[in-house]
C-alpha cells in the first residue's frame, strides 16, 4: 500500500443481499465514485469489474466473492480506506457469503425496493447475526415500477425482527424518482452530471416538508431509545444536535441495536455516495469490534489478540483460489494482529506446518497489486501457501494461536461425472482437487468398485458452474449424469448390541469383541463416540479401532447406502484375547456392533426439504399452488409482492428437479422462484422402501 492508514480509518465491509437486488451494480458505483475505476461496468452488459469470471458475465450473477480496496473522502474531508467484498446472492453460492462475513467488520445489506426482504435476504441477515456483523441497509431500485420504501422497511421489521433507523426519504417513485431527503441534516439531495457525480443539497420541497418533519421526529425517538443522554434531552423536549446524534447512531449500529436505512437507485446513480458517507460514519473500524480470541494449539489455553501491529501475527485464511494464469494457489486472509511481510515464514496452526509467504498482493477483483506487508485490520492475498485451505489459521511461529474455524453447510445435490477420454482422466482428478480446495461445499468421491466419481454441491447451478469451470479453466471434458438427492440416514430410538469378530486359521487368530449402546443425537450434531469402558475390558490401544469401524460403517450407510448422521454411540463393554486381538479385529467388531444396533434402533432415511418462494402474477397463483401440492409441498403463506404474489412453501428437493422449465410453461415465462436448503425430514415409508429396494439390488 502506498499509504498506511490508521486502524480507525479502515472499514472492512461486505455488500450482501438476495440475488438480483443490485449488489454488484452498487459495488460498481462504489468503485467509480471512489476513483478505483474510470468507467462503470454494468452487470447486464457483462462488463462488471467485480464479476470477472466468464460464468458470471454470461449469467449476469455473482458466483464468487470478489475483493478490492478503495478510498473515500467524507464531506468533512476525512479519507478512509475501504476493503470491500462483493458477495453472491444465489443460495447455491452461500459459502462465499459465509466465509466473507467471518472476516468482515461491517456490512451493507442491499434490498430490492420492489421485492423487499426476499428469502436469501433473510439467509444472509441470519448469517450476519451469527458472526455479529453490524449492518446498514440500502433500499435500492426505487426507480422501478412497484417500488415502495415504506413496504421494505415494514418487511425488515416483520421478517428480520430488526429495528431500522430510517435516515432518508425518497422524493418521487418509479420513473418520477427525483432525489433523497437527508433526515439528519434536513436537506434535499439531488444527483446530476456525469454518472451522478454532482451532488446538490438544498431545501426540502414544500410538498414533502410535513412528511420529513414527522420522519425526523420518529428517527430521533428511535435513536433516543438506545441512548440515555439523548433520551433525557428528548423527554425534556429538547432536540439533539447533529453532532450529538452521529456518535449515538454509530454506537447503536456497532452494538446492532439499530440498523440505519438509506435509499436510492444504484443503476440511476442516485444515493450510493451517501451510503459511502454512512460506511465512514457508522460502520465499525477494526478497533470497534471485540478483540479476536483463540486457543493455544498445544495447551488449549484461551488467547486474546488485539488489532495492533505490535502484537504477534495472527490471521485467518477465508478463501483460496487457483490462479488461472499459472501463479498457483492464492490465499485470501484477514490479519487480526501483528504484521506479516513478504518472504516471512509463519505457521499454519490448523495443520501444524510452516508456510512461507513468498509474495503478497492487494486484490482488485481479479487484478493483483504487489505489496510488501499486511498489517492488523487489513485483508491481503498470499502466493506460495502450499497446505493452507479455507478456515486455517496463520500465526507467528513462536507465539501460535488457533482461531475458530468456519463451518459450512453440507451439500444436498449430487451428479456423477466421468471423463470423455482417457487423457481427461488424470486432468479431471487434478481439477477436482483444485476446485474442492477452493470451495468447501464441493465434495467429490470415487467408488472403488465401480470407478464412478460423484460430485456433491449446494444445487444444480452450483454443479453446472463447476463442470463449466472444469472445461474452461482445466480443459477437462466430462459427461455428467442426472442430478440426484443427497439423502441421509439416522435412528429414531435407543438400542444396544454386541459385535464379535473371531477367526482361527492355524497360526495366530483374530479376536475382537465390543458392546455398544446407541441413541439419537441432537439434529445437526453428527456422530459422537463416547468411551465408557472401565476396568480395562478393552485395552486402550484398541478403542480408536472400534471408533473407526463404527464411523466407517455409518459413513457408508447401513439402511440404504447413505451416510448415517446424528448418532451417539456409547462403548460400554467388551473383551479381548492376549494373543489374537488386533486393531483390525476390533475395527471389524465395531462395524458388526453398529450394524446390529441400527437394525434394532428403527433406522430411517431422511430427505432434504427446501424452502421455496415462487413469485408469480396473481392469475397464475392457483396453478402454482396446485403444482407445489402435487410435489409433496407444504404451503405456508401467500403474500402480495408489489404487483405479484409470493407463494412460500417447503418442498422435498427430489420433487424440484426440472421445476424451472415447468414453472415457465405454467406462467408463460412470467414466474420465477428461489429455493434454499431448510432441513432434513423423514422420507415417507413407501418412498423409503422403494429407495432401499433400488439401492440394495
Residues 47 and 167 in one domain: yes
2 located within any domain: no
Residue 266, SS3 per DSSP: coil
Instruction: Please classify residue 300 by burial: count the beta carbons closer than 10 Å to its beta carbon, then call 0-12 exposed, 13-18 middle and 19+ buried.
Output: exposed
Residues 469 and 498 in one domain: no
Residues 39 and 158 in one domain: yes
287 located within any domain: no
pLDDT 10s digits, 3-39 = 678 889 999 998 888 777 787 788 888 888 888 765 5
Beta strands 567-575 and 484-485: pairing type? Answer: unpaired
- d(CA 131, CA 127) in angstroms, rounded, equals 7
Residues 482 and 494 in one domain: no
What does pTM read for this prediction?
0.73
Cell numbers for 95: 459459502
Nearest 10 degrees: CA dihedral of 330, 336, 339, 340?
-20
Residues 190 and 58 in one domain: yes
Supply the DSSP symbol for 687: H
Please tell me the predicted confidence (pLDDT) of residue 65.
Answer: 53
Closest CA to 256 of 289, 291, 303: 289
Q: What CATH number did the domain enclosing 660 receive?
A: 3.30.70.240
4 located within any domain: no
Residues 104 and 229 in one domain: yes
User: Which of 247, 282, 317 is the last residue before a domain boundary?
Assistant: 282
Please tell me the predicted confidence (pLDDT) of residue 63.
Answer: 45
Residues 459 and 593 in one domain: no
Q: What CATH number did the domain enclosing 387 receive?
A: 2.40.30.10
- d(CA 26, CA 44) in angstroms, rounded, equals 13
Cell numbers for 474: 482445466
R_g of the chain computed on alpha carbons:
28
What DSSP string runs through 445-471?
EE-TTT--EEEEESSHHHHHHHHHHHH
Residues 379 and 428 in one domain: no
47 located within any domain: yes
Q: What CATH number did the domain enclosing 168 receive?
A: 3.40.50.300
Low pLDDT (below 70) residues in the chain: 1-3, 37-66, 86, 88-96, 323-327, 364-366, 447-451, 505-507, 642, 696-697
User: Which of 440, 455, 486 is the last residue before a domain boundary?
Assistant: 486
- d(CA 608, CA 115) in angstroms, rounded, equals 27
Supply the DSSP symbol for 283: S
H/E run at residue 675? strand 672-682
Residues 320 and 433 in one domain: no
Number of domains forming the structure of the chain: 5
408 located within any domain: no
Q: What CATH number did the domain enclosing 569 receive?
A: 3.30.230.10
Contacts of 689 (CB under 8 A, 6+ apart): none
Do 313 and 347 form a contact (C-beta atoms < 8 A)? no
Residues 37 and 114 in one domain: yes
147 located within any domain: yes
Please tell me the predicted confidence (pLDDT) of residue 43.
Answer: 44
Do 409 and 677 form a contact (C-beta atoms < 8 A)? yes
Edge-to-edge order in the sheet of strand 302-305 = 302-305, 292-295, 402-403
pLDDT 10s digits, 394-409 = 999 999 999 988 777 7
1 located within any domain: no
Please tell me the predicted confidence (pLDDT) of residue 346.
Answer: 93
Please tell me the predicted confidence (pLDDT) of residue 59.
Answer: 42
Q: What CATH number did the domain enclosing 460 receive?
A: 3.30.70.870
- d(CA 394, CA 223) in angstroms, rounded, equals 41
Residues 585 and 645 in one domain: no
Q: How many residues does the chain have?
A: 697
- d(CA 201, CA 185) in angstroms, rounded, equals 10
Please tell me the predicted confidence (pLDDT) of residue 58.
Answer: 45
The Cα-based distances of 654 to 202, 241, 433, 628, 658 in angstroms read 57, 58, 28, 12, 10
Instruction: Please classify residue 158 by burial: count the beta carbons closer than 10 Å to its beta carbon, then call 0-12 exposed, 13-18 middle and 19+ buried.
Output: exposed
- d(CA 350, CA 330) in angstroms, rounded, equals 18
User: Which of 403, 422, 438 is the last residue before a domain boundary?
Assistant: 403
Instruction: Please classify residue 52 by burial: count the beta carbons closer than 10 Å to its beta carbon, then call 0-12 exposed, 13-18 middle and 19+ buried.
Output: middle
Domain with 467 in it: 414-486
- Residues 107-117 as b/e (b if ≥16 CB within 10 A, e otherwise) read bbbbbbbbbbb
259 located within any domain: yes
Residues 627 and 522 in one domain: no
Angle between helices 543-556 and 583-600 (to 10 degrees): 50
Amino acid at each position: 500500500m502506498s499509504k498506511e492508514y490508521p486502524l480507525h480509518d479502515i472499514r472492512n465491509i461486505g455488500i450482501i443481499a438476495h440475488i438480483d437486488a443490485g449488489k454488484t451494480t452498487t459495488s460498481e458505483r462504489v468503485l467509480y465514485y471512489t476513483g478505483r475505476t474510470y468507467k462503470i461496468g454494468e452487470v447486464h452488459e457483462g462488463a462488471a469489474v467485480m464479476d470477472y469470471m466468464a460464468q458470471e458475465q454470461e449469467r449476469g450473477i455473482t458466483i464468487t466473492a470478489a475483493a478490492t480496496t478503495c478510498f473515500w473522502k467524507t464531506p468533512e474531508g476525512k479519507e478512509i480506506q475501504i476493503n470491500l467484498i462483493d458477495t453472491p446472492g444465489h443460495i447455491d453460492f452461500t459459502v462465499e457469503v459465509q466465509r466473507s462475513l467471518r472476516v468482515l467488520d461491517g456490512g451493507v445489506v442491499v434490498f430490492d425496493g420492489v421485492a423487499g426482504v426476499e428469502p436469501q435476504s433473510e439467509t444472509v441477515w441470519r448469517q450476519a447475526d451469527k458472526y455479529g456483523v453490524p449492518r446498514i441497509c440500502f433500499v435500492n431500485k426505487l426507480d422501478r415500477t412497484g417500488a415502495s420504501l415504506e413496504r421494505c422497511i415494514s418487511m425488515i421489521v416483520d421478517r428480520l425482527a430488526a429495528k431500522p433507523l430510517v435516515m432518508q426519504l425518497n422524493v418521487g417513485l418509479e420513473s418520477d424518482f427525483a432525489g433523497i431527503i437527508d433526515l439528519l441534516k434536513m436537506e434535499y439531495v439531488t444527483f446530476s452530471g456525469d454518472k451522478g457525480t454532482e451532488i446538490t443539497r438544498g431545501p426540502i420541497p414544500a410538498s414533502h416538508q410535513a412528511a420529513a418533519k414527522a420522519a425526523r421526529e420518529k428517527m430521533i425517538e428511535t435513536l433516543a431509545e438506545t441512548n440515555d443522554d439523548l433520551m433525557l434531552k428528548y423527554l425534556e423536549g429538547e432536540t439533539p444536535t447533529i453532532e450529538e446524534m452521529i456518535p449515538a447512531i454509530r454506537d447503536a449500529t456497532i452494538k446492532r441495536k439499530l440498523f440505519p436505512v438509506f435509499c436510492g437507485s444504484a443503476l440511476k446513480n442516485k444515493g450510493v455516495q451517501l451510503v459511502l458517507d454512512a460506511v465512514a460514519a457508522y460502520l465499525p473500524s477494526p478497533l470497534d469490534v471485540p478483540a479476536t480470541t483463540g486457543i493455544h494449539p498445544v495447551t488449549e489455553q484461551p488467547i486474546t489478540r488485539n488489532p495492533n501491529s505490535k502484537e504477534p501475527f495472527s490471521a485467518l485464511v477465508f478463501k483460496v483460489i487457483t490462479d488461472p494464469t499459472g501463479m498457483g494457489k492464492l490465499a485470501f486472509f484477514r490479519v487480526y494482529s501483528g504484521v506479516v511481510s513478504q518472504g516471512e515464514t509463519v505457521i499454519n496452526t490448523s495443520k501444524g506446518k510452516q508456510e512461507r509467504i513468498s509474495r503478497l498482493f492487494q486484490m482488485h477483483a481479479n487484478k493483483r497489486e504487489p505489496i510488501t506487508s499486511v498489517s492488523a485490520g487489513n485483508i491481503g492475498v498470499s502466493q506460495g501457501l502450499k497446505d493452507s485451505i479455507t478456515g486455517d489459521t496463520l500465526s507467528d511461529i513462536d507465539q501460535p494461536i488457533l482461531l475458530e474455524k468456519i463451518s459450512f453447510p453440507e451439500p444436498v445435490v449430487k451428479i456423477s461425472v466421468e471423463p470423455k477420454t482417457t487423457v481427461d482422466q488424470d486432468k479431471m482428478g487434478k481439477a477436482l482437487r483444485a476446485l474442492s480446495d477452493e470451495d468447501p461445499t464441493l465434495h467429490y468421491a470415487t467408488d472403488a468398485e465401480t470407478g464412478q466419481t460423484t460430485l456433491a454441491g449446494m444445487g444444480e447451478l452450483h454443479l453446472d458452474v463447476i463442470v463449466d469451470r472444469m472445461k474452461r479453466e482445466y480443459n477437462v471434458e466430462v459427461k455428467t449424469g442426472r442430478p440426484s438427492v443427497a439423502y441421509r440416514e439416522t435412528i429414531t430410538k435407543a438400542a444396544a448390541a454386541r459385535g464379535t469378530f473371531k477367526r482361527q486359521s492355524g497360526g495366530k487368530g483374530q479376536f475382537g469383541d465390543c458392546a455398544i449402546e446407541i441413541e439419537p443425537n441432537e439434529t445437526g450434531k453428527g456422530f459422537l463416540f463416547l468411551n465408557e469402558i472401565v476396568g480395562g475390558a478393552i485395552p486402550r490401544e484398541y478403542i480408536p479401532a472400534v471408533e473407526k469401524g463404527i464411523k466407517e460403517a455409518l459413513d457408508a450407510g447401513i439402511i440404504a447406502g447413505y451416510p448415517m448422521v446424528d448418532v451417539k454411540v456409547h462403548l460400554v463393554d467388551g473383551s479381548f484375547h492376549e494373543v489374537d486381538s488386533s486393531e483390525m479385529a476390533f475395527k471389524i467388531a465395531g462395524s458388526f456392533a453398529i450394524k446390529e444396533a441400527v437394525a434394532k434402533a428403527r433406522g430411517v432415511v431422511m430427505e432434504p426439504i427446501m424452502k421455496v418462494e415462487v413469485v408469480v402474477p396473481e392469475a397464475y397463483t392457483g396453478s402454482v399452488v396446485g403444482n407445489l401440492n402435487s410435489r409433496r409441498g407444504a404451503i405456508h403463506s401467500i403474500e402480495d409482492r408489489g404487483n405479484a404474489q409470493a407463494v412460500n412453501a417447503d418442498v422435498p428437493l427430489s420433487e424440484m428437479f426440472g421445476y424451472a422449465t415447468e414453472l415457465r410453461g405454467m406462467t408463460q415465462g412470467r414466474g420465477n422462484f428461489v429455493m434454499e436448503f431448510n432441513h432434513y425430514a423423514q422420507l415417507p415409508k413407501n418412498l423409503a422402501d422403494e429407495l432401499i429396494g433400488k439401492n440394495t439390488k
